[in-house]
Amino acid sequence: MTHFRPFSFSLAMLLALTPAAFAQQQAPKPAAPKPAAPPAAAPKPAAPAAQPAAANPAAGATLLGQFGDWGAYTANPGGKKVCFALGKPNASTSNPSGRPRDPAYLFVSTRPSEKVKEEVSVIIGYPFKPGSEAAVQVGSTNFALYTQNDGAWIKNAAEEARMVEVMKKGADAVVKGESGRGTKTTDTFSLKGLDQALARVGQECK
């Protein structure tokens, strides 16, 4: 990462490129809802072609309101309406320190056309170590994430609704990950305003 800018998803890709879409590279045919883990499922239609991420991943989206440290947004990637809450870390550390990375973001997105409600995902700002897991800690509760490129999603989909409820009531979410070069990062996201941002998202995308 020292000699090149890490690849990072655009907003449209994060919202459209759910884990099932990665499987599409193996067997390109249309498919259905998000699986619990990448190998588990039938592929979805391919996501938009990769393109450089905007400096602000909410570029092109409409701000519905700012609630504490979280913004509520709506967008229409590929003509399909999506709504999401977006937070940025208020503290980040890395070991070794000083290695460059793109900004990190925490999303909770709703996609009515796919019957997806409050899906948690992370853009970490660097390519994860292949095959590695990331983790989110809220208070004393931990959730494992599986990773692909610079994105991460909850490993056990059955825990996602509980994760969102824990986040709504928590003070901070601490995200830990490891890059392909072995850099270990810790990002702390304030959860102030998340509950209100998700309420606004729910009003816009029912």
Q: What is the CATH number of the domain that holds 89?
A: 2.60.40.1880
Q: Are 134 and 145 in contact (CB under 8 A)?
A: yes
pLDDT of res. 134:
98
Residue 39 lies inside a defined structural domain of this protein: no
Residue 34 lies inside a defined structural domain of this protein: no
Domain that holds residue 71: 11-19+61-204
CA neighbours within 13 Å on the CB side: how many for 35? 16
Pairing relationship of beta strands 133-138 and 151-154 according to DSSP bridges: unpaired
Residue 200 lies inside a defined structural domain of this protein: yes
Q: Are 55 and 43 in contact (CB under 8 A)?
A: no
The number of domains in the chain is 1
Residue 115 lies inside a defined structural domain of this protein: yes
pLDDT tens column, 55-109 = 466 778 999 999 999 999 999 988 999 999 999 999 999 999 989 999 999 999 9
Residue 52 lies inside a defined structural domain of this protein: no
* 179: Cα separation from own chain's centroid: 16
pLDDT of res. 161:
96
Cα-Cα end-to-end distance for the chain: 41
Q: Work out whether the CA dihedral 63, 89, 190, 173 comes out positive or negative.
A: positive
Q: Which of 17-26, 56-65, 142-151, 181-190 has the lowest mean pLDDT?
A: 17-26
What is the pTM assigned to this prediction?
0.75
Residue 32 lies inside a defined structural domain of this protein: no
Supply the DSSP string of the chain, one letter for each residue: --SSPPP---HHHHHH--HHHHHTTTS-----SPPSSGGGSPPPPPPPPP-PPPSSTTTTSEEEEEETTEEEEEE-GGG--EEEEEE--SEEEEESTT---PPPEEEEEEEGGGTEEEEEEEE-SSPBPTT-EEEEEETTEEEEEEEETTEEEES-GGGHHHHHHHHHH-SEEEEEEEBTT--EEEEEEE-TTHHHHHHHHHHH--
Residue 5 has pLDDT above 90, yes or no: no
pLDDT of res. 41:
34
Q: Helices 160-169 and 194-204 meet at what angle, rounded to 10?
A: 130
The more confident residue out of 176 and 78 is: 176
Q: What is the mean pLDDT of residues 180-205?
A: 97
Tell me which residue of 186, 195, 190 sits closest to 90, measured CA to CA: 190
Residue 47 lies inside a defined structural domain of this protein: no
* Nearest-angstrom CA–CA distance, 43 and 18: 10
* Averaged pLDDT score across all residues of the chain: 80
Residue 13 has pLDDT above 60, yes or no: no
Residue 54 lies inside a defined structural domain of this protein: no
